[in-house]
């Protein structure tokens, strides 16, 4: 019960890594707001874990404000924020990615963290405590060709995490990131371009441990970083990648 009675918001929590994080947090005693653009799927996860849910567009300020209000009304003041929502563009030469795809990656992977911080951090400052975990990617550390603008967005997440950590430490707020290698989530096909045995084999050959990341892998790392066990850990961008970035 490492998160007993803690109130946590997890964005993009209707499926994939986010759902895994929400389930793991609930197992450890947290009261979880399952937030996702797909409100119906978020409600299913919330019902499963005994949490609350809301539909949210993480790139829209009014929607994020509504998410915070719904959380405080249903669960109480926010102790933990997990910025998990993320998107990518299909593997494409950098000069052929559409402006629409670029703007979408920017909005969900970068602007959403800014908005959540703008709206949720003031409450954490007032209480003198809080833990934030940004779900980044090994793409921000060891980029692959044809995912340039996605790679860049995750590099931004890592830099923002370290800067947030330094700035917010005096207010008792810790900020860390988890950098997964690609996992068995709805984004996997987007990363690979298409899902075939040959492409999977080629992708897995770059991971020394020989497998994709699972939601449990990321949930366990996020749990540690958001718990009191990591009370002296801030500004960490933890790779959970089976050795890919070595």
Q: Which residues are catalytic?
A: 150
- Counting Cβ atoms within 10 Å, is residue 233 exposed (0-12), middle (13-18) or buried (19+)? middle
217's tokens: 């892998």
Q: How many CA atoms lie within 13 A of 3 on its CB side?
A: 31
Q: Assess contact for 126 and 91: CB atoms under 8 A.
A: no
Where b means 16+ CB within 10 Å and e means fewer, 14-37 reads bbbbbbbbbbbbbebebbbbbbbb
**The 173-180 sheet, strands edge to edge:** 52-55, 31-36, 7-11, 80-83, 130-135, 173-180, 237-240
């Amino acid at each position: 019960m490492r998160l007993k009675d803690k109130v946590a918001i997890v964005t993009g929590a209707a499926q994939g890594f986010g759902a895994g994080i929400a389930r793991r947090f609930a197992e450890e005693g947290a009261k979880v707001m399952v937030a996702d653009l797909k409100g119906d799927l978020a409600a299913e996860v919330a019902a499963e874990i005994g949490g609350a849910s809301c539909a949210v567009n993480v790139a829209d300020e009014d929607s994020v404000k509504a998410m915070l209000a719904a959380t405080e009304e249903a669960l109480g003041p926010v102790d933990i924020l997990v910025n998990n929502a993320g998107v990518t563009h299909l593997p494409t030469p950098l000069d052929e990615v559409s402006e629409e795809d670029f703007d979408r990656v920017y909005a969900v992977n970068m602007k959403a963290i800014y908005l959540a911080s703008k709206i949720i951090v003031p409450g954490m400052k007032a209480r003198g405590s809080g833990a934030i975990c940004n779900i980044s990617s090994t793409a921000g550390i060891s980029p692959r060709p044809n995912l340039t603008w996605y790679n860049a967005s995750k590099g931004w997440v890592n830099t923002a995490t370290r800067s947030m950590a330094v700035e917010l430490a005096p207010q008792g707020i810790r900020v860390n990131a988890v950098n997964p290698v690609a996992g068995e989530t709805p984004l996997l096909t987007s990363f690979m371009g298409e899902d075939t045995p040959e492409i999977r084999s080629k992708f897995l050959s770059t991971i020394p441990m020989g497998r994709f990341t699972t939601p449990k892998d990321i949930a366990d790392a996020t749990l540690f970083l958001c718990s009191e066990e990591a009370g002296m850990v801030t500004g960490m961008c933890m790779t959970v990648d089976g050795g890919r970035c070595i």
